[in-house]
Structure 1
């Protein structure tokens, strides 16, 4: 039994006439009659009564046609679902990212992806670069966005492309003396209480900060102290409260709240590049769709992806 046999039987039940059913199917009447007769022999039951008034389903025919209709609907849905999955319109995308990625890359790319692929289930988790790399290598993520290229065992199996560059800035409340300055020097920062991301989040900043504060257990006390805050919004919020001077990527300007000021740090401190990573052997259509949107919205990233993966 083939799908065409189901279609033939349904067409005959609808038109109640072999000639009209054959015309609707686009075949000659004799082959249709032969196929229906062969189907009845295979099933061992008469599906249609042939009368002078027309052709009508028997009780066996009614039972068969109900299942046939559902079977064809399921086959059509299966074809549709397979096509959508192949185009990356369904499935799952698991994304790990550092908080600052929400300030420059993800708003446009993720917003467009959600709009264009509403059938994809998203798994989103903010995490440090080290954790997201480990999760990516373990198969727990499909994409990771963090600071700097992935490192460690297995990193050679990942594709990593730069998606942004940034440098360090200081954010203060409007009442802070630095609020009237366009730049602050590292010497000025030495006397301030600093609000920074933890070392596992921004290791370059942590190293720079260690040099700024000097050595010794009492160094933070001598220089005003340090408060760790993982999220850039927390850094900005604490700075706006007058707790101290927040330090973070320049992209935090887009999140700066009223009553805060952002100053350049001099000399300039470059941060590790914002990097998007994924497994080189991942051929998921959903990942491909996400990368295609990234290529479309970020021309520079598109060029880097093309060098690594080839043209779309």
Structure 2
């Protein structure tokens, strides 16, 4: 069994078929098919069912997919460990994160890593929910993840570190006057229109809870891509609920930003699989935890 065969197998799984995988890998499809055929003969099982022009994972293929990703991770960890002896931390770590967690703390972590470990590359994978972040980590697509979740993320072999409590903000169109002293209460929202994300996100769950408590909150637009919420708010379509990672961007864009009284909070977590990690993944995790620890220290007077 060769590394190349495992890389081809994982690419077919992640790209949804031989044609797309061959295009992504920039190899001829017949070469890809021959490599997988050889792997299947060596294993003695079919990894895919060929249905017309499509390839569907067999039971054996389903069983092998996560393990193949982990083998590739272990090989990367071995190579990175050897390189780190003479060159410092090098390599790549893939991180799954929801949009607010990408803004904070992932961007801050990348900036610090860039300064101290210039040979390290961080790849970010977008996720809509904490459940999707956890799934990406457990399946081996990413080595680490950052997300907001009311409950501690759990899964077989998953390690979760509490980073901080995010605060939800009300982001309103320019010129909107609400509340007092830059804060609003849930009652201040009565009668307002909102741009919201689709179900299964932490922000949508918080909106639904507020709507049930306050009543008379209208949905002006429901979006699948949360990156369009702020532009819609700026156009006056409605207000939005956003985690505090969006604060600086929203203010610079010209939106009115308010905090809630009492605060609307959501725990933020760093997750990864237990067991050996690549040097790059360990550096990402250590840096993120170190930043969170520094942020929790009381500021000197």
TM bracket (short chain): 0.5 to 0.7
- 1:112-151 Cα distance to aligned partner (Å, 9 max, x none): 2234334334331111221111111111110011112554
Aligned pairs for 1:253-292 within 5 A: 253-256=247-250, 257-271=252-266, 273-292=267-286
Q: Distance in 1 between matches of 2:80 and 2:280?
A: 14
- 1:12-41 Cα distance to aligned partner (Å, 9 max, x none): xxxxxxxxxxxxxxxxxxxxxxxxxxxxxx
Given the alignment, which residue of 245, 249, 254 partners 1:251? 245
Q: Distance in 2 between matches of 1:119 and 1:251?
A: 27
Structure 2 residue 78 is the aligned partner of structure 1 residue 83: no
Question: How many Å apart are 1:230 and its aligned residue?
Answer: 5.8
2:97 — aligned with what? 97
Q: Normalising to structure 1: TM-score of the pair? A: 0.59
Aligned pairs for 1:56-67 within 5 A: none
SS in 1 for 2:236: coil
Q: Distance in 2 between matches of 1:284 and 1:302?
A: 27
Unaligned runs of 5+ in 1: 1-79, 215-221, 304-312
- For the pair shown, the structure with the greater C-alpha radius of gyration is 1
Aligned pairs for 1:189-268 within 5 A: 189-202=189-202, 204-212=205-213, 223-229=217-223, 233-256=227-250, 257-268=252-263
2:59 — aligned with what? none
1:84–1:300 CA distance, 2 compared to 1 (3 A): same
SS in 1 for 2:103: helix
SS in 1 for 2:191: coil
SS in 2 for 1:100: helix
CA RMSD of aligned residues (A): 3.2
Question: How many Å apart are 1:210 and its aligned residue?
Answer: 4.5
Q: Normalising to structure 2: TM-score of the pair? A: 0.60
For these two proteins, the number of residue pairs brought into alignment is: 214
1:224–1:210 CA distance, 2 compared to 1 (3 A): closer
Aligned pairs for 1:159-178 within 5 A: 159-178=159-178
- 1:223-270 Cα distance to aligned partner (Å, 9 max, x none): 432423466653322212111111112332211234321122344322
Q: Distance in 1 between matches of 2:255 and 2:124?
A: 29
Q: Distance in 1 between matches of 2:109 and 2:282?
A: 13
CA contact (8 A) 2:80 2:279 kept: no
